[in-house]
Amino acid sequence: MADASLKASIWSVLFHLFFFFFFEFTQYTKGYRCNVVVLTFLLSVLQTATLDKIYLTILE
């Protein structure tokens, strides 16, 4: 059980780092601040769903 929550935490950190760097890069290269905010929101929803699936898969 502790192992599963540890793996979920690691995935969460990796996702946050990836999204942070990806959107910082997008913002500097294209400057579409509005689109970045919308995409960040959508991807955070997707990320939550993905983490739930990963967590449930680990628990099974």
Average pLDDT over residues 26-50: 69
Q: How far apart are CA 39 and CA 33, in angstroms?
A: 10
Q: Which residues contact 40 (CB under 8 A, 6 or more apart)?
A: 19, 23
Instruction: Look at residue 60 in the predicted model and tell me its pLDDT.
Output: 61
Instruction: Look at residue 29 in the predicted model and tell me its pLDDT.
Output: 60
Domain count of the fold of the chain: 1
pTM for the full model? 0.36
pLDDT digits (tens, 9 = 90+) for 2-34: 577 777 777 777 777 777 777 777 666 665 565
Determine phi and psi for 34, rounding to 5 degrees. -65, -45
Please name which of 50, 24, 46, 47 lies closest in space to residue 37, comparing C-alpha atoms: 24
Instruction: Look at residue 20 in the predicted model and tell me its pLDDT.
Output: 76
Domain of 19? Answer: 2-59
> Could you give the C-alpha distances from 57 to 5, 8, 24, 26, in angstroms and in order?
12, 11, 31, 32
